[in-house]
Amino acid sequence: MTLEKASKIIEIYGIHLEYCSKLIYVFSSSIPESFLPFPKGIIEEAANVLAEHHFKNGNKIAVNSIENAKAALISYIDDEKAITESIKLWNDPTWRQSILLAFKDFQKNWIKTKNIDLE
């Protein structure tokens, strides 16, 4: 994989992480892999190419950032298994109630972090 292609894949994956971070609240640690913008293996390969490039250039901060983003892939699993695990969680009234409370804060936090004044 070329450095240019790896950079583009990781850029898109980074956008995915930013905008799809709430998936963890819906699926817990079992998010369907198909929600990723590319297959998991492609993202891992791209991350490795990009991390190696930055490592060779002495950019430890970029390497750490890439490795942290790559670690998030652990939550993405086989689609059917993820759905099955999610169903179990959503059938637990205690878990469901705690997550539903968190949902109410999502929009408020999003607006706050993006510095949008709606008043």
- List, for residues 65-100, the tens digit of each pLDDT value: 999 999 999 999 999 999 999 999 889 999 888 888
The verdict on residue 118 lying in a domain is no
Say if residue 106's pLDDT is above 90. no
pTM: 0.79
In a domain, 63, yes or no: yes
Residue 84 lies in a domain: yes
Helices (H), ranges, the chain: 3-19, 23-27, 40-56, 60-71, 79-90, 93-113
Contact 23, 15 (CB under 8 A): no
The H-or-E segment that residue 32 falls in is strand 31-32
Residue 67 covered by a domain: yes
The whole-angstrom separation of Cα 37 and Cα 17 is 10
Q: Where is pLDDT greater, at 1 or 114? A: 1
pLDDT higher at 37 or 20: 37
pLDDT for residue 23 is more than 90 = no
Range of the domain at 11: 3-113
pLDDT at 61 (0 to 100)? 95
> How far is it, in rounded angstroms, from Cα 89 to Cα 86?
5
Q: How many structural domains comprise the chain?
A: 1
Query: Is pLDDT at 114 greater than 80 in this prediction?
Result: no
For residues 10 and 28, what is the distance between their CA atoms, to the nearest angstrom? Answer: 23
Residue 9 in any domain: the answer is: yes
With respect to residue 119, please indicate whether it lies within any of the assigned structural domains.
no
Which 8-state DSSP code applies to residue 117?
-
Residue with tokens 């469901």: 96
Q: What is the mean pLDDT of the chain?
A: 90
Check residue 118 and give its pLDDT: 75
